[in-house]
Structures are given as C-alpha cells and as structure tokens.
Amino acid sequence: SHHVACGVIATNDLKGMVCTDLPGKFPFTSDMHNNYIFIMYDYDSNTTLGKPIKSRNASELVRGFELCYKDLKDANITSVLHRLDNEISDKLIEAIKKKKMTYQIVTSHDHRQNLAERAIQTYKSYLISNLHGTHKDFPAHLWCRLLEQIELQVNIIRPSRINPNRSAWEEIKPKYDFNAVPLAPLGTKGLIYVPVKVRDTTYSDHGKEGWYVGPVWDKYRNYKIYIPSTNGVR
C-alpha cells in the first residue's frame, strides 16, 4: 500500500492573512511602462487585488504591496500575517514589518501554501477573457489600464467571509451601483464628444475616436476613454 502525506490548514490559522505573488511577465510592456501585475489575496474579505508594476525590482514590489495594503486599510481591514513567495527582497520585508505584520515565506515550488497562487489563476482568466473580447484593433500596450475593471469583475461575484451577504468588492469598496457607474466591454471602440469651445476650428470633427478602458468612479454615468491622438484618458 502507498501512504500519501497531505497538509491540512486550519481555518483559524488563515484569519487576518494576506498572500502575495507575481504572475509571469506580461507579453507586452504597457504604455505606462508596466510589465507585471502584483497580486494580493486577502482571506478575510476574500478579495483579490491586482496592481500593475514596472518590474520585479524591490522598489516596485514595495509599491505594489503598498497600493494593495492601502485598499485594505481604507476598508478598515487589518492584516496580521503576510504569506509570500520565496522570491523576496529585504525592502519588501521591511515594508511588511512597518505595518506591524508578521510574515511567512512559503516552501519553494509548493503552491498550496500560498493562496495567492489560486487567486492568480482566477485573475488571469478574467484578464485573458477580457483581452479576447476587445476590438480587433485595440492597442495591446493599453492592457494595464484595464485592471481597475478586472478587479471589480473578479471581486463583485465573490462573497466576503466577513459578511457573506456582501460581495468581496463591497467589503473593501463602496457598494457598486451600475446606474451611477455603468460598465462597457473593455477595449470597445468609442467616440468621445468634443465640445464646441475646445474644437480647433468651426469645421473640426465633433468627436474623437478612442478606446473604453474602464469606469469613472467619481463622476456620474461617465466612461473612461483613451484617445490615442492625445495620448491620454478622457
């Protein structure tokens, strides 16, 4: 007979824990010079956060960590334990310690110990499916601008462990209202209206073509459109 050893993690041991890791390098460098996505999974809220970073350098890892930590902190979620991949930096460890968190480094190649590994699979599945749904001419270098809506999509259908009656998104962000913040398929080709006062001449086009890259959170019923000619978002 054969005996197989397996580890069982008690649920109580996971409370207050966040896990982080990086997926592989994205195939295209974005127009904002990003190459990676820093993924943080918070067990209590069941939230997966993804922030674009430029490289695997220590300063960028710390920046990704700080951005994710701020989202949790703003939602009054206090993490006490950080479990991370064995590829770490001293600067990241110092940043974790400054938050008064303890940390654990998982065993090399043992993905079961780091819950961020499973979160990465889910996050990448959403991102890949959205990229395949973009317009055929959508510029690949705009991929990092889509992550805000990807984060919403990943978390809005997941229940929070703090309160199962709320979604993971609602646990860390204001309740989502589609009527106030409408969504569109990412990478949709759009046309933005140009008011008369800002047109170059009286015969200028009344609109400019662009790409839908996500919602506008602080304005009522607006879409975020990237306009190539101005190299910016309106």
- Yes or no: say if 40 and 82 are a contact pair by the CB < 8 Å rule: no
pLDDT at 7 over 50: no
Res 10 pLDDT > 60: no
Q: How many CB atoms lie within 10 A of CB 114?
A: 22
Verdict on whether the full-model pTM lies above 0.75:
yes
Q: 230: pLDDT confidence band, cut at 50, 70 and 90?
A: low
**Beta-carbon count within 10 A of 40 CB:** 25
Residue 86 is predicted with a pLDDT of: 77
Residue 27 has pLDDT above 90, yes or no: yes
pLDDT above 80: residue 91: yes
Structure tokens that stand for 146 in this block: 């889509």
Q: What percent of the chain has pLDDT over 70?
A: 90
The rounded distance, in Å, linking the Cα atoms of 165 and 202 is 54
For the cut 60, the answer to whether the pLDDT of residue 6 exceeds it is: no
> How far is Cα 39 from Cα 23, in angstroms, rounded to an integer?
8
As a whole number, mean pLDDT of residues 206-230 equals: 91
Distance, CA of 16 to CA of 170 (rounded, Å) = 18
Does residue 50 carry a pLDDT above 90?
yes
Looking at the predicted structure, is the pLDDT value of residue 109 above 80? no
> What does 146-163 look like in DSSP terms, one character per residue?
GHHHHHHHHHHTSB-SS-
* pLDDT-based confidence at residue 87 (cuts at 50, 70, 90): confident
Phi/psi for 169 (5° steps) reads: -65, -45
**Tokens 């390098």 label which residue?**
25
The label of the residue with tokens 């943080």 reads 40
| pLDDT score for 234 | 63
Instruction: State how far the alpha carbon of 160 is from the alpha carbons of 36, 166, 213, in Å.
Output: 27, 6, 27
pLDDT exceeds 70 at position 119: yes
pLDDT surpassing 90 at residue 213: yes
Residue 78 has pLDDT above 60, yes or no: yes
Q: Per-residue pLDDT averaged across 137-153, rounded?
A: 97
Q: What percent of the chain lies above the pLDDT cut of 90?
A: 74
Distances (CA, A) of 184 to 35, 164, 178, 190, 213: 25, 27, 11, 10, 9
What DSSP assignment string belongs to 18-31?
A: EEEE--PPPSS--T
pLDDT band at 8; cut points 50, 70, 90: very low
Per-chain mean pLDDT for the chain: 90
